[in-house]
Structure formats: structure tokens, C-alpha cells
Amino acid sequence: MNIGVVCYPTYGGSGVVATELGKALGQKGHKIHFISYDQPARLDFFNENLFYHEVSVSKYPLFRYPPYEIALASKIVDIVQFANLDLLHVHYAIPHAAAAIMARNILLKRGIYIPVVTTLHGTDITLVGKDPTYEPVVTYSINESDAVTTVSESLKRETKEHFPIENDITVIPNFIDFERFSKTPKEHFKLAIAPNGEHIVIHTSNFRKVKRVEDVLKVFHLIRKEVPAKLLLVGDGPERFNMETLCRKLDLFDSVTFLGKQDAVEEILSVGDLFLMTSETESFGLAALEAMACEVPVISTNTGGLPELNINGVSGFTSDLGDVKDMAKNALSILQGNLKLFKLQAYNHARKFDIETIMPAYENLYFKTIETAAKRKRT
């Protein structure tokens, strides 16, 4: 198959999933054409079946904001014809699904029908999509897509609750490449972080309010009262200053290390004993899955799709939003109890989300969508 993949090129979950899926499909022999305003961050190796097409936006004094959606739709039209694409897989409703539907309608006038698969990842529905400014376009784009997927049952329910959706929605969970995340801990790094054998607790995110990163520090503060521990914070974002302020208030600076944005997050996760995810909502929780793949049990909230991923009492524990005392209690029950068992259980559960297990679901959906589009064209 020749597949066009439209995604954000950044480190966010949707961009990571889109890129990793495209890379895996390319290794299987499919030709994958990435279409975005920059080269995806995870598109970091050469393969004869992978292509990148940059969307450039011309700047005119007339435009207060560059018309990216129009430039994207025009680029899609060009690549569909130039590369003879069989299907478009767009990740994130805004603006990708809308631009893809616009491109499909233009191509239809030229006698070409390109089926569109739209994957909803979370904030495109739970945050941006609910904005009255965007809701009509989001609804139209989803209903006009040839196939729609979400990354969790929770996101599927929320989509149907808040939008008048006519299309069926297929749930295909996120995944990881175990060849990347099954890492042997680097003892020299672990020794540098925890020279006296302290437990290592980790949190990774973009430090936005929705991640409730101050709760991470509050939970860790309660953990450290009972056991020697160090906290590694991976990422950066608007809440960084507030986190540093709270660190000073709780007298945690000697036990907390801000590592900033990291490409090789698996190297850090491999030395961890516990992963904290205190988010207000997560459509899936890809960062938690990455931790589990590195044999790190997870303490998380029970919001959104997290209970589907983090099985309470198996891969870790879930707690109500904001209940830092319960999260700390659960964390200590692991650290002071059978940590080895929870590490093994977390890893075994994560194996269910191996890309080699999930990728066929996408392939089957692609073939079915292309076949349906072909029948429509014949009639």
C-alpha cells in the first residue's frame, strides 16, 4: 500500500504514535509518505519506503495568521496524485482531518477518490474539539471520514457523548516498539542519581496544567517521608516554574532532578522503580506504557483511558484525581512490598501493546477501507 500520513511532527503522543506506526509499516514493505510542516521527531533513520513532504506556508501581509490548513490541503492533493496514494491516515482532528476532507473533495472533482482514516488522540476531542469555535468542523470531519479510530474506549465514549457522530468508531490502542524500550539499566547512571541505593521515581510530561505536575511533587514528598527516594522529572513546559517553587517550599531540591526534554527517555526509565502519572485526564497514557515496558510499575489517576492501561493491583495502582495521600500509600505498598513482582507484572502487561500486535489492526482497517472505497467508485 501507498499511505499518506498526516501528523504533528512534535514529541506529543499523536506525533510519536503516527511516526512509529509509519516506520513499522515501512519496514513491512508499505510505502509511507509523511506530510507535515517539519520532519517528525521520531523519523530518525533511513528506509527506502519512508518519505517526508514538507508543508510550507507562504507569508503575505494580508494574512494575520498563516493559512496552514489550506497549504496542507493543497500539499495533500499534490502528494496523492504524485505518489499515487491508496489511503490517507490523519492523526488529530484539527486541522488534519479537516484538511484531508477538503483535499479529498478537490480530488473527487478530478476523478480521484482517496479514502481518509482519522485517528482521534485525545485533546483534539476533550479540549480543542469542545470549543464552540471548532465543534462544527470537528463533527463534519469525523463524519466525513471513511473510517475513524480512537486510542481508548474512554475516548470513544467521550467523542460520542459530545459530538453528533454518525460514523462507527474503532478502538485501536497505542503501542510501543519493544526493541527500543526493553533496555538493560545503566548502572553507572543509576549510581549517579541514587548513590546510596535510594528508590528512583520518574515522571515524564510536557508540564502543562492538565498533567497536575504539582501533585507529582506532593506524592513524592509523602513517599520520601517513609523511604529514601529520588525523583527524576523529564520534560519541560509552562508549569516548570511552579514546580520549582513547590520544590523549594517542600524542601525537595536535593531529591529532585529536572532533566528537561530527552530523546532517549527509555535510558532514563530503565533505572526507575516507580512512575507517577497524576493527570487530570489522559486519553491513553503513552508515557505510562513506556514506563511499564521498562519494568516500571505505575501510580496513576483513574481518569480517561488510564484504567484501561494501568490495571489496578497488577501493573500498579490507580487513585481518584487529586488524592495524593492514596497515591503515596499505593506507591509505598509497592516500594516497601514486592517491587520485583510489580516490575514483572508491569512488563508482562505492556507486552500486550507491542507494535507487532497492534499494527495488524491498522493494516486490516486500511485494506477494508480501501476495498469499501473501491466498491463505492464502481457503483
Could you confirm whether domain 178-353 is CATH 3.40.50.300?
no
- Picking from 151, 100, 184, 112, the residue whose alpha carbon sits closest to that of residue 281 is 151
pLDDT at residue 72 is higher than 60 = yes
The percentage of residues in the chain with a pLDDT greater than 70, rounded to a whole number, is 95
Alpha-carbon distance of 115 to 366, in angstroms, equals 9
Query: 39-48, 148-157, 260-269: lowest mean pLDDT where?
Result: 39-48
pLDDT at residue 379 is higher than 60 = no
Do the two domains 2-175+355-378 and 178-353 of this chain adopt the same fold?
Answer: yes
The three-state secondary structure class of 148 is strand
| DSSP assignment string, 208-275 | -GGG-HHHHHHHHHHHHTTS-EEEEEE---TTHHHHHHHHHHTT-TTTEEEEE--S-HHHHHTT-SEE
Alpha-carbon distance of 14 to 128, in angstroms, equals 14
The percentage of residues in the chain with a pLDDT greater than 90, rounded to a whole number, is 72
Could you confirm whether domain 2-175+355-378 is CATH 3.40.50.2000?
yes
Alpha-carbon distance of 82 to 269, in angstroms, equals 42
Distances (CA, A) of 221 to 31, 211, 246: 49, 17, 10
Where do the structural domains in the chain lie, given as residue ranges? 2-175+355-378, 178-353
Q: What is the pLDDT of residue 275?
A: 98
Q: State pLDDT tens for residues 346-363.
A: 999 999 999 999 999 999
